[in-house]
Chains A and B, each alone.
Chain A
Amino acid sequence: KQEVTQIPAALSVPEGENLVLNCSFTDSAIYNLQWFRQDPGKGLTSLLLIQSSQREQTSGRLNASLDKSSGRSTLYIAASQPGDSATYLCAVTGANSKLTFGKGITLSVRP
């Protein structure tokens, strides 16, 4: 059974700092990995999708990497801003298109 782990559960950083969020998964047989953002009481916003054959994806200040063999992914946020404060969820797609989510990392960026 696939398990996705995100540690730490919460992170607080000052504005402007570059930061890395980590995600690990136990079964490397995945189709893809996605990073999502969730604001309090809201749905999910897809940030980046990395197919299993890819190593990384970039969108603006965000860069996500995937090392399938070691079961790890990182989300790099450059020059963090208070507006980046949210919960970041990592999820992997396995058999039958099922997504398995981590519990998320709640990020707070202090002005």
Chain B
Amino acid sequence: GAVVSQHPSRVICKSGTSVKIECRSLDFQATTMFWYRQFPKKSLMLMATSNEGSKATYEQGVEKDKFLINHASLTLSTLTVTSAHPEDSSFYICSAIRGTSGAYEQYFGPGTRLTVT
């Protein structure tokens, strides 16, 4: 099976600071990675689609200057929450696929719990 890791698993930061979350595909090359956000008792909300070597595509309502996404290699994508505020506290999950077609299965990371105090 395909393995996707995320680091850190948990992070607590002060309001106004920036936090970087890493998403890695450990045993395959991920042409495309996705970033999701999940609020308590809510479904996962797609934030952005990240393609290696190009700019991320953000979903409507997601601030690209606040949630910086970089997909510099075929195995690593990063999400940086800039100037974090308490309302950014959430569970962030990434996923990765081998290709770009929708027929490919998405493999999910274990998630990162962000708490902004």
Residues of chain A at the chain B interface (Cβ within 8 Å): 4, 31-32, 34, 36, 41-44, 46, 49, 51, 89, 91, 93-104
* Contact pick for B44, options A31, A46, A89, CB 8 Å: A89
Assembly CA distance A99 to B94 (angstroms) = 12
A43, B93: Cβ atoms closer than 8 Å: yes
B106-117 Cβ-contact flags toward A at 8 Å (1 or 0): 111111010000
Least CB distance, A44 to chain B, in whole angstroms = 4
Chain A contacts for B93, CB-based, 8 A: 43-44
How extensive is the interface on chain B, given as a class? 20 to 34
A89-B43, A102-B43, A104-B43 as given contacts; A97 in contact with B102, CB under 8 Å:
yes
Residues of chain B at the chain A interface (Cβ within 8 Å): 6, 32, 34, 42-44, 46, 49, 91, 93, 95, 97, 100-111, 113
Chain A contacts for B102, CB-based, 8 A: 31-32, 93-98
Assembly CA distance A49 to B6 (angstroms) = 23
* Contact pick for A41, options B44, B97, B113, CB 8 Å: B113
Chain A contacts for B106, CB-based, 8 A: 34, 93, 97, 99
B43, A43: Cβ atoms closer than 8 Å: no
Least CB distance, A23 to chain B, in whole angstroms = 12
* Contact pick for B32, options A31, A91, A97, CB 8 Å: A97
B97, A97: Cβ atoms closer than 8 Å: yes
Task: With CB as the reference atom, state the residue of chain B lying closest to A97.
Answer: B102
